[in-house]
Amino acid sequence: MQEQTAAGEITLAGTPIGNIGDASARLRELLAGSDVIAAEDTRRLHRLLQGLQIAPTGRIISYHEHNEEARTAELLDLVRSGNNVLMVTDAGMPSVSDPGYRLVEAAVAQGLRVTTAPGPSAVLTALTLSGLPTDRFCFEGFLPRKPGERKARLAELSREQRTMVFFEAPHRLEVMLRALSQGFGGNRKAAVAREMTKLYEEVLRGPLEELLRWSESTEVRGEIVVVVAGAPDKPPEDPADHVAAVDTLVSGGIRLKDAVSSVAEDARISKRELYAAVLAARGK
């Protein structure tokens, strides 16, 4: 569908996740010249502006999870009337576990132009520092806080073969690592990245059980990203391992052909190979 033409546009811009020197030249231009800056936290924005020695010419308004609904409509009205709106969050790219998604969704639905000024990303920074495979990965954000919901989520992810990236608050890191160790096994490789790009940047790598012990004996501070290796490839099923199950069904009165079919379906293996394994076990 063709995008409608509008005098204004929305730009999602990435801001430094720690080191202010990572602010791009384009971000500086946008902060200085945008008609409107929508910021997750206006106080943090002012600190960023001071650090970059930028005096914005546009209007600054707050845009966060508690006022998204009302402010989204306001921002879209501003764009329709010809204003260029810059959307920034506290750190990194908007809409990645931060405000921004609803604004983009609504703007796209109304045919308004949305673009981006790419910048720092805590997800990609931690992934590249983790030492874990980067060819395939998924971002899972924050795990549920309630134990039951967290356990269920980890059960779903236990067979995920892609590298997984999570966010977590420092005071909840120990609980999270314990849950990961229980859900994925203590030997699963992982990395904890904290204070990335800052003076006290630290990346700890090792099995989950080791990282858990570290968190138990340390007062963890700073922004935290946890990267966990995906599940190892499951070895192919050996049909011979399921011969006993077939024999049990046959001894219960089920025909051999039907028993083989039932067991093969449950185990998700070849009926032909299982039948051959049963005959081999019987010396036929």
Q: Which pLDDT band, with edges at 50, 70 and 90, does 6 fall under?
A: very low
CA-based R_g, the chain, Å: 26
Q: Which residues pair with 192 in a beta bridge?
A: 204, 226
Beta strands 114-117 and 10-13, pairing class: parallel
Query: Domain coordinates of the chain in residue numbers?
Result: 10-120, 123-228, 239-281
Closest CA to 167 of 86, 227, 99: 227
The dihedrals phi and psi of 91, each to the nearest 5 degrees, come to: -165, 145
Position 238 scores a pLDDT of 83
Beta strands in 21-152 (DSSP E): 36-39, 59-62, 85-88, 114-117, 137-142
The amino acid occupying position 128 is T
The residues, any chain, with a CB within 8 Å of residue 86's CB and separated by 6 or more, are 11, 13, 30, 31, 34, 36, 37, 38, 58
| Confidence (pLDDT) at 2 | 43
Residue 199: which residues within 8 A CB-CB, separation 6 or more? none
Given a cut of 80, whether residue 7 has pLDDT beyond it is no
3 state SS of 58: coil
How far is the C-alpha of 5 from the C-alpha of 94, rounded, in Å?
A: 24
Reduce the DSSP state of residue 247 to 3 states and report it: helix
Q: Give helix 208-216 / helix 173-184 axis angle, nearest 10°.
A: 160
Distance between CA atoms of residues 12 and 33, nearest Å: 14
Give the tens place of pLDDT for each residue, 45-55. 999 999 999 99
Q: Determine the pLDDT at residue 284.
A: 66
* End-to-end Cα spacing for the chain: 65
Task: Please tell me the class of the 123-228 domain.
Answer: alpha beta
Q: What is the pLDDT of residues 217-266, one digit of tens each?
A: 988 988 999 999 999 877 677 888 899 999 999 898 999 999 999 998 88
Supply the mean pLDDT for the chain: 92
CA atoms within 13 A on the CB side of 143: 32
Rounded (10°) CA dihedral 173, 177, 183, 188: 140
Say what the pTM is: 0.77
Q: Classify residue 102 by burial, with Cβ atoms within 10 Å: 0-12, 13-18, 19+.
A: middle
| pLDDT, position 240 | 87
Q: Could you identify the residue written with the tokens 């093969």?
A: 264
Candidate CATH numbers 1.10.8.350, 3.20.20.70, 3.40.1010.10, 3.20.20.80; the one for domain 10-120: 3.40.1010.10
Please, are residues 278 and 260 in contact by the beta-carbon 8 Å criterion?
A: yes
- CA 21 to mean position of chain CA atoms: 25
- Contacts of residue 128, defined as CB under 8 A and 6 or more positions apart, other chains included, come to 134
Other CB atoms closer than 10 Å to residue 142's CB: what's the count? 13
